[in-house]
Amino acid sequence: MAKDSTTAKKASSTARKSKSTKAKSPTPKKSSQLTKSPASPKTVTSSSIVVHIDEGELLARRIAELMFTKKAYDVTIIDVRGLSDITDYFVICSADSDKQVKAISDAVRDGLLLDDEQPIYVDDREMTWIVLDYVNVIVHIFQKERRAFYGLEKLWGDAKITHLKDEKDLQLVSPQKTRKPKSARA
């Protein structure tokens, strides 16, 4: 009987050793880093707040950021996931002139080209309305009057619509208010 218990101890000790010699998981990343796994959305962690952002939303935010570099205004991101099969997001902006419409289009295309993103379709025959198709995101750059005429936001009234005034609205996590420690409160 003593032999059986000794044999069992050796067997369990061997099993533990073989488990511990298996490849260890990679070290966890710092909480403030962006992490990405091939099939999952990106995750941004800041202290105790976790925000999940999919590839389409990241691209839409990047496009909006590039639009602001050329003084685009009334920038709007429309989330049509679940409402449309053609795309996940529309990014729409306004410009005052044909030259500004072209400049915004060039800024978006050039900026995304640096990020290895190319549109699968470009419609720039008219300088009053340019369309760039990035599959997950379709970009509409309008002259103010043309945008008012077509009213795409009204067309997608059931979608989640995010209006951006400037680059500050693109922040992923709003800064938290700081509180005085209890000992400092009177």
Residue 153, in any domain of the structure: yes
Provide the Cα torsion 81, 83, 89, 91; round to 10°. Answer: -150
Rg value, the chain, Cα: 26
Which residue's entry shows tokens 């429309």?
A: 78
Looking at the structure of the chain, the number of domains it has is 1
Residue 77 falls inside a structural domain: yes
CB-based contacts of 31: which residues, under 8 Å, 6+ apart?
A: 45, 46, 47
Domain that holds residue 149: 53-166
Instruction: Say how far apart CA 95 and CA 101 lie, in whole Å.
Output: 6
In a domain? residue 136: yes
Would you say residue 42 lies in a domain?
A: no
pLDDT in the model for residue 168:
75
Residue 105 within a domain: yes
Query: What is the residue-level pLDDT of the chain in tens, covering all 186 positions?
Result: 544 444 444 444 444 344 333 333 343 333 333 333 344 455 555 556 666 678 899 999 999 999 999 999 999 999 999 899 999 999 999 999 999 999 999 999 999 999 999 999 999 998 999 999 999 999 999 999 999 999 888 888 888 999 998 777 777 533 333 344 445 444
Tallying the residues shown for the chain, one arrives at 186
* 139 burial level (CB within 10 Å; 0-12, 13-18, 19+): buried
